[in-house]
Structure formats: structure tokens, C-alpha cells
Amino acid sequence: MSCPQAMKDYSAMFDSKNMTGAATTSGKRYSVGTLSYTRAALINVMFWMLWGDFCLMIMEQLLPNVVPLQLRWEGARDSVVGLIANSLPHFIAILVGPVVGMQSDRHRSPLGRRRPFLLWSAVPVVVSLLLLGGAKPAGEFLHNLLQPMFGAGITTAGCTIVWLAIAAVIFVVFNTYVMQVYQFLFADVIPTEVMGKFIGSYRAIGALGSFAFNRWILGWVEHHTLHVYALAALLYATAFCLLVWRVKEGAYPPPPPKQKGGAFGYLKTFFTESFRHRFYLNIYLIPFFFWASLVPFQTFVIFFATKAGQPGYADTLGLTLDQFGKVKAWTFIVQIPIFFLVGPFVDRFHPLRVIMLGALLTGLSFLGCFFFIHSESTLLTFYIFNQAASAIYLGAYLALYPRLLPREKYGQFFSANQIFGLIGAVLAPVLCGWFLETTRDYRYIFAWCGVSVLLAFASSVMLFRHWKKLGGDLNYTPPGQSQAPALETAI
């Protein structure tokens, strides 16, 4: 059967099913794509999605928070920390991202087009976490193995750093599937009319997971590194197996015909469609600048706050890991009610308007941190202000894309957007590390982040003006795309 004929048959089924459903169902129902939920069914789906998010966020704290410490304990410089903990893995993610987006958009299986990737990625993610956790003994093993061949030119610290770099790359390759496909799943199973509330809840539960890690787990990292990684891996694997089991995808229209030219044909289509319209480029600029602040901040702020700073730099605050973990944990607690409050505003006023407000406040709060943090108490106060402002931005960020990107190729366009964010994540840590080595003062991390986020704010203003020209609230449709009808599946 040809693809156009299959689409016609699919549309006919959609029309028939909708007519039947309208006549036989009563009460409020929520629809997305082929799925139609009762309120109870929708709550059930959101519960399992959010439980997965809670465990995922505990696991996601490891790369930006623990790997830099592991590298610093081996004597790595700031630029090396930025390269291994952020730039190198995110560069790999740039290469993998387009594959993930187009591959999952086209995939069809009894589990749907998203969940199979979540399932098969679980094993390599867990293995890579254990490799990261065991880096110290693995470095010693490598040193003992290679020293007879290379002599004094090889050190235990150097072997450990190389091991961490390799394990981080393995983790990011497979975690890219997890993170992106999980976020693609939002658009496939969560109705647009409640997307803002869901994203607000998603961010709040994620903040709760981050709070749990920083409040009760971070202080154990130095002396129980492998145990911390193993716990995070167990929580992640359990949560996502349950998610795949409990969250169902609906039916999808047949994928388009295979691309001529094989992999190069797909690559050409990806870049031609994803980057042809200036409107989409405006969308992509926002994460480029925001990630250029977020990733270096996660990497280097711990050095400013604790005793892990470099010799010869300006004085740090000198907190212990446990003290800093408790300070950081409070910032997540403050974010939780904000995430819940932001959701209804996102649904009512459009996520783009909320993003503009959040980016402006976050940029200004970073500059406030630069000028006014001088002690543990001021760190707590201004860190809370900063994270409260960023919660406004983050509460709207993921809700923006189902409103602006084409649904039938959502994974493709979302991956294109991620590429820009990842480019910022690749360039910024190394450049920021070099900047900090030049200034020799970790306080300047706040200045770097403040300028980056204000550039994200300027990009969001440009996008808002373009979106209004394309119809705004009432008449916007994604440029260059047509929307396919959907078959309703009641749940």
C-alpha cells in the first residue's frame, strides 16, 4: 500500500471513530494525537511520567556535579574539567541527536515509536554509571597494567581522568536517547491543553529529585562514590521499566517512504527541513544561550562554594560538600511551588511570554549573585533568588515546543533545537574554564551566566515578534508544515 493511500485510510478511520466516540462517551475527555483520556486515566499517565522524572533527575545530577569533583580530585585543570565533564560528552550528543529524532519519529512497533528506545537504552546507561562510579579503582588498575609498557610517563591520575572521559562519553551517547525520547513522549501522550500544568509538575518533581540528591546524597560522594552511582542507576532502571510498562502510546500514521540516498539522504532532509525557516532558527537560539550559562554554572559553582578551588585563585567560600549540598537543596525546595504555579500561567498566557519573563529575571539575578555573595548566608539568599527566577523559565521551556514545532516530525525538530543547545554546552564550558583560569576567580562564573541568559532573553523577544507575525495566539501554524489528522483511541 502506498503511503498516500495509507494516510487516506488512516484519516477515514479517524473520522469514523470520532463520530462514534462523540455519541457514546460522556464527561470530560482529554485528547492528544490518537489518544483520548478520562480524567482518571490522564492522572495515571502523568503519575508514571513524573515518577520516572523524579528518579531520572537523581541520576542526572551525577555528570554535572560529581564528575567535576572526581576530575578535580585527580588534579585536572578547569579547562580539562569543562572539556571532559561537559564539552566532549555534549559534542557526542550533537552527533547522536539528529539520529535519535528521526529514528524515533519513523519507528513503529507494538510498544509505539518512543518507548522501545527508553527500554533498550536502560542497560548501557546503567553500565556507564557503574563505570563512572568505579573510575578510581579502574584508574589504578589501568596504571598497573600500562606502567610496564610506558614507564614513569603514565600516572594513576592520568589513567583515571582518561577512564572518566571514556565513561562519560558512553553515558552521554545512550542517555541522549533517554532524555530526548522521554521528552518527545510528552507531545505524544500529554494533551496540549494541560501541557503547561504537566511541565510545571514535571519541573517540580524534578526539583524534588534534585533536592533529594543534594540534601542526602551529595555529602556521601567523596567516600562512597561507587555506591552513589549504583543507587542512582538502580532507581533510574526501575523507574523507566515501570514507565514503559504503564504508559501507552497511541497509533501513528505510517512513516514516510524511506529516504533516497540512505543515511546521507536522511541527513540532507534533516538539515533542509529543520534549518530552512528563520522562525525555527529563532527558536533554537534560546537554548543556545541558556545552555551556555546553565552547563558552566552547574560545573564550576561548586568550586566557588567549597574548598575544591585551585591554588592561586581568589578565595572561595570554603564550605564542605555537605554544607554546599544543603544550601543547594534549599534552592530546589523553593523551586517546587513556583513550578506548580507557573503551569496554569503557561497554559493561559502561552509559554513564550513566560519564557521572556523568566529569562530576564534569571539574567538579572545572576548579576546580583556576582556582586552580593560573600558568605554561606548570602550564597543561600541569592542562590534561592536565582533558582526561583530560573524556575519561571524552566517551567515554560519544554511546554513551548509542542506549541510551536510540527507534531508529525516533532522528534526531528526537537533534536535540531537540542543541537543548538548542545553547541552552547560544548563551547561554553571550555571557554568559561579558560575565562576562569584567566581571571583566577570563580566569582566570575556568575557574570558569565548573567550575560548568557540576558542574550537568551533577547532571543526570546525576537522569537515573540516573529511568532506574532505568523498569527500569534489565534492563527499560528508551524511554517512549511501541514498537520495530519489522528485516529482517536479511548483510555
In this prediction, residues 396-404 reach a mean pLDDT of: 92
Residues 87 and 430: beta-carbon distance below 8 Å: yes
Paired residues of 32 in beta bridges: 35
The structural domain count of the chain equals: 1
Q: Is the pLDDT of residue 483 over 60?
A: no
Whole-number pLDDT of residue 482: 52
176 lies in which domain range? 3-490
Give tens-digit pLDDT for 306-319.
987 678 899 999 99
Give tens-digit pLDDT for 201-219.
998 898 899 889 888 898 8
Q: How many CB atoms lie within 10 A of CB 5?
A: 10
Reported as a pLDDT band with limits 50, 70 and 90, residue 404 is very high
89-119 exposure pattern, b = at least 16 Cβ within 10 A, e = fewer: bbbbbbebbbbbbbbbbbbeeebbbbbbbbe
The CATH number assigned to the domain holding 210 equals: 1.20.1250.20
Q: Is the pLDDT of residue 9 over 70?
A: no
Pairing of strands 30-32, 35-37: antiparallel
Give tens-digit pLDDT for 407-454.
888 999 999 998 999 899 888 988 998 999 999 999 999 999 999 999
193-229 exposure pattern, b = at least 16 Cβ within 10 A, e = fewer: ebbbbbbbbbbbbbbbbbbbbbbebbbebeeebeebb
The helix (H) or strand (E) run that includes residue 489 is strand 489-490
Q: H helices then E strands: how many in the chain?
A: 18, 3
Secondary structure (3-state) at 55: helix
Residues 453 and 366: beta-carbon distance below 8 Å: yes
Which is more confidently placed, 64 or 124?
124
Minimum mean pLDDT range among 258-267, 387-396, 411-420, 480-489:
480-489
DSSP for 270-334, please give it.
HHHHHSSSHHHHHHHHHHHHHHHHHHHHHHHHHHHHBS-PPTTSPP---B-HHHHHHHHHHHHHH
Nearest to 464 by CA among 453, 476, 452: 476
Residues 404 and 351: beta-carbon distance below 8 Å: no
Q: Is the pLDDT of residue 298 over 70?
A: yes
Rounded distance between C-alpha atoms, residue 361 and residue 357, angstroms: 6
Whole-number pLDDT of residue 4: 42
Reported as a pLDDT band with limits 50, 70 and 90, residue 86 is confident
Contacts with 434 (C-beta within 8 Å, 6 or more apart), sequence order = 78, 79
Give tens-digit pLDDT for 323-352.
998 898 899 889 999 999 999 999 999 999
What percent of the chain clears pLDDT 90, i.e. is strictly above it? 60
Secondary structure (3-state) at 147: helix
Contacts with 222 (C-beta within 8 Å, 6 or more apart), sequence order = 69, 73, 321
Average pLDDT of the chain to the nearest whole number: 87
Amino acid occupying residue 137: P
